[in-house]
A and B are shown apart, each in its own frame.
Chain A
Amino acid sequence: MEALASPALGDVFSHPFMRYALLAGTAVAVAAGLVGYFLVLRAQIFTADALSHVAFTGALAALAAGLDARVGLFAVTVLVAVAMGVLGRRARPDDVVVGGVFAWILGLGVFFLTLYTTRRSGGANGQAGVSVLFGSILGLSGRDAVVSAAVALAVGAAVLAVARPLLFASIDDAVAATEGVPVRLLGYAFLVLVGVTAAEATQVVGALLILGLLAAPAGTAMRVTARPLRALAISVGIAVASVWIGLVTSYLVPAVPPSFAILAVATAAYVVTVAIPAHRRAIG
């Protein structure tokens, strides 16, 4: 209690829960920074938004069925990601389709939440739902953190592996298709990666807040530079820095939830680039 009452910067790493949070958070930030860049480039942020909400339903469905939340998370988000691709043109879903599907899926999430709170844990009072929505990064166990990190790094590696053709297909899918790039297949693969990222990040920053880690660093990077590789690097850098600064802030100021601190940093980065380069452009 003493340590919590007057936390010092020096012993951030002395607590295992902080080490786990930093490990999982960093890995998720790397994946989110990479995936986010392509999401913004492909104007598919809304799809990611929908998938992160789907993750909520997946987790609660698994809890209600008495399974590990992670199983439901990954299975449902990846499935819905593919389904949305099927419904859209060239594996780029239409916004009405996305919206309609996820409005209903969220409704189902509420159903499972009620089922879970009434059947399984009498007095939990929505705690499970709230922690799925807003994340519980400080509650990760060592095993959770390692699994999260492994999955996130795999996602990051996969994105980098397909980065070149994906970039081409995202910027001009018609030309890419005539050049022999498998545009549809890439579209699906990318949706699956987004699904996995959303599911993964749900445990860290929560289903509702992952969008910020996807959109803000990537949006910032795209304002800073038009060059793809540099933008990818900046996007990852901002995402990781947000997680670190956010976690340490919330450690030093316990009243601030970690999810809020992380997103506040990411948003601040975006606001700064909106404010400054516009000014510079006006002069130059």
Chain B
Amino acid sequence: MTPFTWNLIADLREMWSIPLVLNAFRAGTVIGVVAAVVGWFMVLRRQSFAGHTLALVGFPGAAAAVWLGIGVTVGYFSSCIAAALVIALLPAAGRRGYREESAVIGTVQAFALACGTLFVSLYKGFLGGTTALLFGTFVGISARQVVTLAVVGVAVVAVIGLIARPLVFGSIDPDVAAASGIPVRALDAVFLVVLGATAAEASQITGTLLVFALLLLPAATAQRLTARPGWGLVLAVAIGLITVWTALFIAVYSVYPIGFWLTTIAFGLYVLASAGAAIRDRRGSLARASERDDRYDTAPSVLT
């Protein structure tokens, strides 16, 4: 293909004439939207660690699938969803809390990765493929995979749409939600499964190690900018799409893998938003402070 020119429209048209790249853009769009929506709830619920673990679990799944000769997509989905169920079921001690949960998640994650190494060593001569599974590649997404991604993506967003209201309630104050009759534990489990499916989706383009960039960062950026759920979700999706598209665009021309561009763009946006939010907060508090000063300045003059 032709090298990069500053005529971006022509570049895009050129890029999209290659089916491989076009599929990558389609898959990236689906993943960008789904990951941002689910990620927004993940950040709200402070479940980043679980999200990260579910993403990593995709690696042994995919490695096993390669070893057994079944499709990588099947491997990603089955292992991520299975791990979601394990995490949802295991800390049955309930409110003993976060400590116990973090030990469970950490153990699940490390063991899953260890299984990945076992499968890789059982399937000899797979090292280059290992790097692709871990760090992602945008080549090799078939049209059929895009359809699978889209179907799962629609299902995930539909489930989230159905449980969105009680989920927000249950995330912000689980005790009050439980008291008002919301099945908090069932919701937790459903959300974990949805998170697993999303992580499996995103793994296929970002690799299992970098799913986090798409799951966490757009959502965290959006929550820095606005606390309102509706706007936050829209913003997260927009940031997710911008990140994926820009990263794909650059990756087509660059020797460095897409994972690097994805994480860098997503993190850059997050830092910008954090800086912006910090400045806004400071201005707000300064304005309030100066108002207060004005009041105190005038108060004595009234007295005298």
Binding site for B on A (CB under 8 A): 40-41, 43-46, 48-49, 53, 95-96, 98-104, 106-108, 110-111, 113-115, 118, 125-127, 129-130, 133-134, 206, 208-216, 218-219, 222, 255-257, 259-260, 262-264, 266-267, 270, 274, 278
Chain A residue nearest to B212 (CB atoms) is A103
Q: Are B216 and A113 in contact, with the CB atoms below 8 A?
A: no
- Chain A to chain B contacts (Cβ below 8 Å), 27 pairs: A43-B99, A44-B102, A45-B103, A46-B48, A95-B49, A99-B52, A99-B216, A100-B220, A103-B216, A106-B263, A107-B264, A110-B135, A114-B255, A114-B256, A126-B128, A126-B131, A130-B127, A206-B117, A211-B110, A215-B102, A216-B103, A256-B121, A257-B118, A263-B111, A263-B113, A274-B90, A278-B92
Chain B residues near A102: list those with CB within 8 A. Answer: 212
| Cα distance A247–B52 in the bound complex, in angstroms | 28
Q: Are A100 and B105 in contact, with the CB atoms below 8 A?
A: no
Which B residues between 64 and 119 are near A, CB-CB below 8 angstroms?
A: 90, 92, 98-100, 102-107, 109-111, 113-115, 117-118
In the complex, what's the smallest C-beta–C-beta distance from A42 to chain B, in angstroms? 8
Q: B58 near A: Cβ within 8 Å?
A: no
Q: Are B257 and A114 in contact, with the CB atoms below 8 A?
A: yes
With A98-B48, A99-B212 known to touch, is A125 a contact of B217 (CB < 8 Å)? Answer: no
Q: Are B110 and A103 in contact, with the CB atoms below 8 A?
A: no
Chain B residues near A104: list those with CB within 8 A. Answer: 213, 217, 263-264, 266-267
How many Cβ-Cβ contacts under 8 Å join chain A to chain B?
184
| Cα distance A111–B255 in the bound complex, in angstroms | 10
In the complex, what's the smallest C-beta–C-beta distance from A49 to chain B, in angstroms? 7
Chain B residues near A99: list those with CB within 8 A. Answer: 48-49, 52, 212, 216, 220
Q: Are B99 and A41 in contact, with the CB atoms below 8 A?
A: yes
CB contact between A43 and one of B48, B98, B135 (< 8 Å): that residue? B98
Chain A residues near B110: list those with CB within 8 A. Answer: 208-213, 215-216, 263, 266-267
Query: Chain B binding site: helix, strand, loop or mixed by DSSP?
Result: helix
Chain A residues near B99: list those with CB within 8 A. Answer: 40-41, 43, 222
In the complex, what's the smallest C-beta–C-beta distance from B261 to chain A, in angstroms? 8
With A104-B264, A107-B262, A260-B118 known to touch, is A214 a contact of B113 (CB < 8 Å)? Answer: no
| Cα distance A44–B106 in the bound complex, in angstroms | 10
Q: Are B107 and A216 in contact, with the CB atoms below 8 A?
A: yes
4 closest A-B pairs by beta carbon, nearest first, are A107-B263, A212-B110, A215-B106, A219-B103
CB contact between A107 and one of B90, B92, B107, B210 (< 8 Å): that residue? B210
- A-facing mask of B17-50, CB < 8 A → 1, else 0? 0000000000000000000000000010010110
CB contact between A100 and one of B49, B117, B267 (< 8 Å): that residue? B267
With A96-B220, A100-B220, A130-B127 known to touch, is A49 a contact of B134 (CB < 8 Å)? Answer: no
Q: Are A100 and B270 in contact, with the CB atoms below 8 A?
A: yes
Q: Are A130 and B107 in contact, with the CB atoms below 8 A?
A: no
Q: B139 near A: Cβ within 8 Å?
A: no
Chain A residue nearest to B254 (CB atoms) is A114
Binding site for A on B (CB under 8 A): 43, 46, 48-49, 52, 56, 90, 92, 98-100, 102-107, 109-111, 113-115, 117-118, 120-122, 127-128, 130-131, 134-135, 209-210, 212-213, 216-217, 220, 255-257, 259-264, 266-267, 270
| Cα distance A137–B261 in the bound complex, in angstroms | 32
Q: Are A126 and B130 in contact, with the CB atoms below 8 A?
A: yes
Q: Are A49 and B256 in contact, with the CB atoms below 8 A?
A: no
Chain A residues near B48: list those with CB within 8 A. Answer: 46, 95-96, 98-99
Q: Are B106 and A211 in contact, with the CB atoms below 8 A?
A: yes
Q: Are A260 and B107 in contact, with the CB atoms below 8 A?
A: no
In the complex, what's the smallest C-beta–C-beta distance from A18 to chain B, in angstroms? 18
Chain B residues near A274: list those with CB within 8 A. Answer: 90
Q: Are A215 and B103 in contact, with the CB atoms below 8 A?
A: yes
Q: Are A126 and B260 in contact, with the CB atoms below 8 A?
A: no
Chain A residue nearest to B93 (CB atoms) is A278
In the complex, what's the smallest C-beta–C-beta distance from A84 to chain B, in angstroms? 13
Chain A residue nearest to B259 (CB atoms) is A110
Chain B residues near A49: list those with CB within 8 A. Answer: 49, 52, 106, 109
Q: Are B103 and A222 in contact, with the CB atoms below 8 A?
A: yes
Chain A residues near B212: list those with CB within 8 A. Answer: 99, 102-103, 106
Chain A residues near B255: list those with CB within 8 A. Answer: 114, 118
Q: Are B107 and A103 in contact, with the CB atoms below 8 A?
A: no
Chain B residues near A44: list those with CB within 8 A. Answer: 102
| Cα distance A103–B209 in the bound complex, in angstroms | 8
Q: Which of B117, B135, B257, B266 gathers the greatest number of chain A CB atoms within 10 Å?
A: B117
Chain A residue nearest to B131 (CB atoms) is A126
Chain A residue nearest to B56 (CB atoms) is A208
Q: Which of B99, B105, B122 gathers the greatest number of chain A CB atoms within 10 Å?
A: B99
Chain B residues near A125: list those with CB within 8 A. Answer: 127-128
Chain B residue nearest to A135 (CB atoms) is B117
Chain A residues near B109: list those with CB within 8 A. Answer: 49, 211-212
Chain A residues near B257: list those with CB within 8 A. Answer: 110-111, 114
Q: Which of B49, B98, B114, B130 gathers the greatest number of chain A CB atoms within 10 Å?
A: B114
| Cα distance A129–B132 in the bound complex, in angstroms | 11
